[in-house]
Amino acid sequence: MKSNESAENYLETILILSKKKPVVRSVDIADELGFKKSSVSVAMKNLREKEHITVTPEGFIYLTDSGKAIADMIYERHEFLSDWLVRLGVDADVATEDACRMEHVISRESFAAIKKFVSESLA
């Protein structure tokens, strides 16, 4: 997994967890992703250094504006691509897995074109 893809996955996970929980901690991320707490700690340090997250003294993790922008972009791609693949007849579990991979590698231009095409087709 590329480091950029890994960072995007962590940011997306923080976003998703923040919609379910009042606060997000490293242990929540580790549980959600099935990773070791030590791996999550290293990733959080990297995201903090890139100023994509802030961590309070109590260990609560919050997305910064830049982190939220990335997380929102990845989450939108994931939701859209999963739904689109299911509409094409792909099994929901397969669609989710494929969307998870596609969301990181597709260019903004290609995603916008697919989104426009699908929206126009459904209109």
* Residue pair 95/82 in contact by the 8 Å Cβ criterion: yes
In whole angstroms, what is the distance from residue 45 CA to residue 55 CA?
Answer: 9
Range of the domain at 88: 69-122
| The last residue of a domain, from among 64, 86, 113 | 64
The pLDDT value recorded for residue 36 is: 95
CATH code, domain carrying 33? 1.10.10.10
Q: H-helix or E-strand containing 53? A: strand 53-55
Query: Count of CB atoms within 10 A of residue 111's CB?
Result: 17
Q: Is the pLDDT of residue 2 over 50?
A: no
pLDDT digits (tens, 9 = 90+) for 16-46: 999 999 999 999 999 999 999 999 999 999 9
pLDDT digits (tens, 9 = 90+) for 64-94: 999 999 999 999 999 999 999 999 999 999 9
The pLDDT value recorded for residue 77 is: 96
Are both 74 and 116 inside the same structural domain?
yes
Calculate the alpha carbon distances from 52 to 15, 63, 84 in Å. 12, 6, 29
| The last residue of a domain, from among 23, 43, 64 | 64
